[in-house]
Structure 1
Amino acid sequence: MLLTPRPGARRVTTALLASAVSVCLLAASAPSPAAPLGVGDRLFPHLGNPGYDVASYDLAFTYPGSNDKPLTAVTTIAARTTAPLERINLDFAHGTVRGVEVDGVPAAFTSAGEDLVITPQEPLPAGSAVRVTVRHTSDPVSADGRDGGWVRTRDGLAMANQADAAHLVFPCNDHPSDKAMFTIRVTAPEGYTAVANGLPAGTDRRAGATTWTYRTEHPMATELAQVSVGRSTVVHRSGPHGLPLRDVVPTEDRDRLEPWLKRTPGQIAWMEEKVGRYPFETYGLLMAEAQTGFELETQTLSLFEKDVFTEPAYPKWYVESIMVHELSHQWFGDSVSPRTWSDLWLNEGHATWYEALYSEEKADRPMETRMKAAYRASDSWRATGGPPAAPKGPKPGQKISIFRPNVYDGAALVLYALRQEIGRPAFERLERTWVALHQDGTASTSDFVRLASTMSGRDLGGFFAAWLYDTKTPPMPGHPDWKSDAPPARQGRR
């Protein structure tokens, strides 16, 4: 995710200002008390659920042709239990549940916080395959970007599920540590086009409506799911080594946006030179007519505000750097996903790094200049948002407030210090090895520290402890003259 400043505005606006989520679940009688669970994530303790591992999601949405009505939906989850389960907890809010089946047999269900708690007729032993089908609605109305999930565009819908909003759209194990394969089916009236993550797997036209089916070829975290429904045109082209590219744009803006769209193949080739082959089956840009305040690396189909490409106040080099930021996330954050949300710096720090490196090489904007400015602000960022690998929790009612400067330029500064410390050749080998070693998986900060130590041939534990967790910014290797401004002293009450 990249927060986008508005020209002339003093601060970024976001469309994910949270409010309390009202869960509407039509509950069947449950035989025993239900409680919300979680995998214990430090920043989002109630996200995710223990006791099972999801293998695949099959999502089916029917769009009614209006953004002020709920979509009807069916979510089918194939999973394997990792512990004996009397109940199955799924993250789900902001929808009406109309029925649940476990392995084809009706099951009782109720709500607990933002969990849908399902009680199958028989307890599930550990190691058993289980198939859960939930018939529900998926409501874009009161979500409308405030809580994430569905984003209402001028002509339809898109998704923005980071960091904890996929469960506002469909029942799921809503934590990046549990990645799964996805099949997504979208039915929409004539005149609309639907596109989702992955590759097309067929269309079915009947009775004035079309159903599009898409499948991923690589596992995906729930926060990276994407569905676009709109009066759109899908633009196809080829990328490096024949990679199929597809962009989704408002039909009326197709020609106007082409100068930007055609830059993607070269940007992919540039990234492949840095870190290795693109990790997925396709890529493209979804240009939405919506005011979100951010761009988002949804897997294989990055979400952008159309205005980023049409607002004349944005310099061309800046727009391209945003494109590279989201593209680089396909390696850092999507293919290699964070094991916990405290590992977010690995996503955003790397995306910011390659964004800045691209600007240095393509637009003559020196990395050192940007990093020196980041160093100057680093102590203040750490005071406000916490150190890069120990970010402070989200503000009440503002769940995306974990996306602070300390995990963007503050984390890129850590990578710059690392390159200064171990040298460019070792750093570049580390980057390529990291994405190859953890492709299609999850990884943690400690994994990165261990690999960096191995690749450099020396223990970097102390180096990373200071740069990732200290409240004060350590001295920059090779730049002893760099200074970080101390945060302003807090005034006592008068």
Structure 2
Amino acid sequence: MPLTRSRAGFHRRCAVAGTVTAAVLTLVAAALPAPEPAGIGDRLFPQLGNPGYDVRAYDIAFRYSGDNSKPLSARTKIDATVTGDGMDRFNLDFAGGEVRSVRVNGLPARHARAGEDLVITPAAPLRRGTPLRVDVRHTSSPSTPNGGWLRTTDGLAMANQADAAHRVFPSNDHPSDKAMFTFHVTAPRAVTVVAGGLPAGRTRAGDNTVWTYRHMHPMATELAQVSIGRSAVVRSQGPHGLPLRHVVPVAQRKALAPWLDRTKEQIAWMERHAGRYPFENYGILAADAQTGFELETQTLSLFERELLTSRSYPSWYKQSLMVHELAHQWFGNSVTPRRWGDLWLNEGHATWYEWSYGAERGGPAVERRAREAYRQSDTLRKRFGPPAALKPSKEGGKTELFTSMVYDGSAIVLYALRERIGAEAFARLQREWIARHRDGNASASDFMALAGEVSGQDQTAFLKKWLYGERTPPMPGHPDWRTR
């Protein structure tokens, strides 16, 4: 059918606009230096995070074929605000798939890869304070080395900590830039999809189902969770009506039930110590996979199914690990470190509550575990660095974050502080820390300042020795304790 005059004019204008945009992009790209990876200067992960913008929200869609070895088709939309002046280009962290197209504020944008960054050149420079909307169509590969996708016996789950989220989706992959998240996952009808946050819709699309989940609180990229598999979803209620939602392999539902049932009491126990649970729901994702770790993904903690069903571990030990990951919902997820060097705040507190809960359930006394950790501390400091100044990776190596120093070595910092300021002040400090920094980021300096405020005495010099010293300081109240 021939075009009408108005329609013909519209198509000519679009063609001209497209030609002009392409020409502008070509000129801009030619004038700029070669793309390079960027970072915000984190001492442990120098090239993670990106300057120049602040992400407000991610809207991420995956299409899963049913084969967990094949790349997923994906689309990541990012809603941000420009914080830099006159930016001709900007970077996203992305190293886990192919990029098919990029649009910035509705217009096509050039893109190039540089290291583990996606370098984007928009049609026009970006001005401070203006909206930045990025739309990336890409793939997301479960086979990326050190990637965030974890292959299970019947599907996939995410394990993005510490630096793997950008191998799943384009992002500002640093905990300092928390944002809201929405996930849409299209998968075969026989598959169940559960993500962190609350369900926000489920629709049929031919032989597939489209599942949507939305977080109600900001989240760091490393804490995202999407589970795809032949799973059962077990629902119940926790304290004050909190929705509990556990995701388990269908065949293991009965075997896991006694462990899932403990979650309600564990949340109540944590609330007595740290205040009300900070999110919209909680649950355990028991994955049929060998990982060697458990992970505090926000509102849906990842566990190896075998850990919970195995008879090789005593009950108190398994329960204490459940509380460790639960405690992270307060310490690490709600209050998130400003830099990776502040990780001791997450793991020290989670380990402290792990010790405390385990002791109440038949495990070793807290003092016994603290004394043993103290004895090992100088050896660990020499090998890995002190709790708040871990050694960065050697050239080409991977930073060793999750070692005994960041767990036990950080927990004894808290034990020392409690011995110094007393149990009552220490308890107030825990609750005030969460109340003051909820849904935000905080640092070691923030914690030292609050410890002084709560205790009525400056604790900075005391805590700096424990957090940054090459040697472990004397333990208050225990002059007989020795390091080896």
TM bucket normalised to smaller: over 0.9
Partner of 1:16: none
- Displacement of 1:265 after TM fit? 0.4
Q: % of aligned pairs identical? A: 62
Partner of 1:42: 43
Query: In 1, are the aligned partners of 2:231 and 2:250 still within 8 Å (CA)?
Result: yes
Distance across 1 between alignment mates of 2:372 and 2:453:
30
Partner of 1:73: 74
Query: In 2, are the aligned partners of 1:395 and 1:401 still within 8 Å (CA)?
Result: no
Distance across 2 between alignment mates of 1:148 and 1:475:
41
Within the candidate set 94, 105, 116, 2:96 is matched to: 94
Q: Is 1:318 matched with 2:317?
A: yes
- Displacement of 1:305 after TM fit? 0.6
Task: Look up the SS of the partner of 1:236 in the other structure.
Answer: strand
Q: Is 1:186 matched with 2:185?
A: yes
Distance across 2 between alignment mates of 1:281 and 1:88:
34
Letter in 2 for 1:224: L
Partner of 1:141: 143
Computing the radius of gyration from Cα coordinates, the structure with the larger value is 2
- Displacement of 1:397 after TM fit? 6.2
Letter in 2 for 1:36: P
Distance across 2 between alignment mates of 1:41 and 1:449:
20
- Displacement of 1:402 after TM fit? 1.3
Within the candidate set 81, 93, 105, 1:103 is matched to: 105
The two structures have a TM-score, normalised by structure 1, of 0.91
Letter in 1 for 2:37: P
Partner of 1:25: none
Task: Look up the SS of the partner of 2:400 in the other structure.
Answer: helix
Query: In 2, are the aligned partners of 1:299 and 1:334 still within 8 Å (CA)?
Result: yes
Distance across 2 between alignment mates of 1:106 and 1:150:
29
Distance across 2 between alignment mates of 1:107 and 1:461:
48
Partner of 1:276: 275
Spell out, residue by residue over 1:366-406, the C-alpha distance to the aligned partner (whole angstroms, 9 max, x if none): 10010011111011111111001101124666636211111
Within the candidate set 108, 111, 114, 1:112 is matched to: 114
Higher relative CO (CA 8 A, sep ≥ 6), structure 1 or 2? 1
Q: How many residues align?
A: 455
Distance across 2 between alignment mates of 1:365 and 1:128:
55
Distance across 2 between alignment mates of 1:129 and 1:88:
14
Query: In 2, are the aligned partners of 1:87 and 1:117 still within 8 Å (CA)?
Result: yes
Q: Is 1:334 matched with 2:339?
A: no
Partner of 1:83: 84
Q: Is 1:122 matched with 2:121?
A: no
Spell out, residue by residue over 1:48-105, the C-alpha distance to the aligned partner (whole angstroms, 9 max, x if none): 0000000000000001110221000000000000012111200000210000001111
Query: In 2, are the aligned partners of 1:197 and 1:227 still within 8 Å (CA)?
Result: yes
Runs of 4+ in structure 1 displaced over 3 angstroms?
28-31, 394-400
When structure 1 is superposed on structure 2, of 355-364 and 239-248 the one drifting more is 355-364
- For 1:329-478, what aligned pairs fall within 5 Å after superposition? 329-363=328-362, 365-394=364-393, 399=398, 401-478=400-477
Query: In 1, are the aligned partners of 2:392 and 2:399 still within 8 Å (CA)?
Result: no
Say if 1:75 and 1:42 are closer, same or farther in 2 by CA, change over 3 A: same
The two structures have a TM-score, normalised by structure 2, of 0.92
**Unpaired segments ≥5 residues, structure 1:** 1-27, 486-494
Spell out, residue by residue over 1:26-49, the C-alpha distance to the aligned partner (whole angstroms, 9 max, x if none): xx9743321111000000000000
Distance across 1 between alignment mates of 2:50 and 2:207:
40
Letter in 2 for 1:120: P
Task: Look up the SS of the partner of 2:425 in the other structure.
Answer: helix
Distance across 1 between alignment mates of 2:144 and 2:278:
36
- For 1:219-234, what aligned pairs fall within 5 Å after superposition? 219-234=218-233
Say if 1:478 and 1:50 are closer, same or farther in 2 by CA, change over 3 A: same
Query: In 1, are the aligned partners of 2:62 and 2:75 still within 8 Å (CA)?
Result: yes
Partner of 1:205: 204
Say if 1:285 and 1:42 are closer, same or farther in 2 by CA, change over 3 A: same
Partner of 2:306: 307
Distance across 2 between alignment mates of 1:270 and 1:425:
17
Query: In 2, are the aligned partners of 1:453 and 1:459 still within 8 Å (CA)?
Result: yes
Distance across 1 between alignment mates of 2:378 and 2:243:
44
Task: Look up the SS of the partner of 2:474 in the other structure.
Answer: coil
Spell out, residue by residue over 1:106-134, the C-alpha distance to the aligned partner (whole angstroms, 9 max, x if none): 11111111110111101110000111000
Task: Look up the SS of the partner of 1:228 in the other structure.
Answer: strand
Spell out, residue by residue over 1:281-308, the C-alpha distance to the aligned partner (whole angstroms, 9 max, x if none): 0100001111111100000000111110
Letter in 1 for 2:46: P
